[in-house]
Amino acid sequence: MNEDEIRNLLHEMNDDPVPADALRRVRLGVAARTRSRTWMNRSRTWMKMWSAAAIAAAACATVLLLWLREPVPISQSATPVAVLKPTPPPLVTAPLPIPPTRRNRTSTRAAVQPAIEKTRPAESNLVIRIETSDPDVLILLIGD
Amino acid sequence: MTAAVMTDLPRVRNDSFEHVVGERQVRILRTAYRLIGNWADAEDVAQEVFVRLYRHGLGFPNEAALTGWLYRVTVNLCLDHRRASRTAHELPELPSLAASAEAAAIRDQQKQQLMAALLRLPQKERAALVLREIEGLSTVEVAEILGSSEGTVRSQVSKAVGRLREIMNGEEL
């Protein structure tokens, strides 16, 4: 037998019948395996969906519980660790005008220039004290 | 026939899985039988090929891609099968031609003898020969399926035919 005869024989083998039983068994086997796989895939999908739903429900419940919970008061310690006392600012005193020896119109006008004294009390309110030439008159400006 | 199937025709969109199985199971089963040598194992391989196709899906760009994929999986599964059961397989005895005098029977005997000789070939050579000479695929297609070059496929087919001639003529060393 030469190589051409072998090639012809090989080509003829392409037309050889395949047993019908073998074909049927393949078809049935494939159908059974793919059907069971389809069922498994479906059940797996359902499992995934239910798991996701359960996780989402648990998360919602947790958020709701946290939201509805009463706030706990923050306990303050009876003795503070450190107390800062505000230091009063230094008293600013404007130079007092020299009292005039004679009372006249011009000197009175010059004496009208008030002596301004700014003081900031401990309550942190700004108080401006204005001293006039009259010792009985004192103007106090209290800021907010 | 196969050459027409392997052309780059666009995939038919309404092809169902059952339709693809019915259309191609003969070729896949026959190829598996030529590579393995018995129908029972060939059936198992063919089943596995189609189950893998089911898992993979039918999203192939064209008919050639689908056919190539089916042949590739078939050949790989058959090679794995032969590798796994190598120790269990004895080299097949060649049937005697003197058993029957009639011409048709002689032809059948020759085919059986050739089939037995085929199973004595190295796996890669056998796969190349079955796809090229029996299934009628082109050298390019066989090279693509086996993951080798066209030159390698030509060489494997040529060597395989030479070996078959030696075996059939009793020239085997």
**pLDDT tens digits for B73-86?**
999 999 888 777 75
pLDDT for position B97:
52
Q: Is the pTM of this model over 0.80?
A: no
Q: Do B168 and A7 touch (CB under 8 A)?
A: no
| Residue B170 β-bridge partners | none
The proportion of chain A whose per-residue pLDDT surpasses 70, expressed as a percent, equals 59
For A83-94, letters b (16+ CB in 10 Å) and e give eeeeeeeeeeee
**Selected residues 54-113 of chain B with any CB under 8 Å from a CB in chain A:** 54-55, 107, 110-111
What is the Cα–Cα distance from A86 to A91, expressed in whole angstroms? 15
Collect all residues with Cβ–Cβ distance below 8 Å to B42 and sequence separation of at least 6: A22, B29, B32, B33, B36
Q: Backbone dihedral region of B74: left (phi > 0), alpha (psi from -120 to 50 degrees) or beta?
A: alpha
| pLDDT tens column, A103-128 | 555 555 555 555 665 555 555 678 88
| pLDDT tens column, A70-86 | 766 666 555 555 555 66
Mutation target vs B (from A1, A9, A10; most B CBs, 10 A cutoff): A10
Q: What distance in Å separates residue A25's CA from the closest CA in chain B?
A: 7
**Which residue carries 């695929």 as its tokens?**
B137
- Quick check: B128 and B160 in contact, CB under 8 A? yes
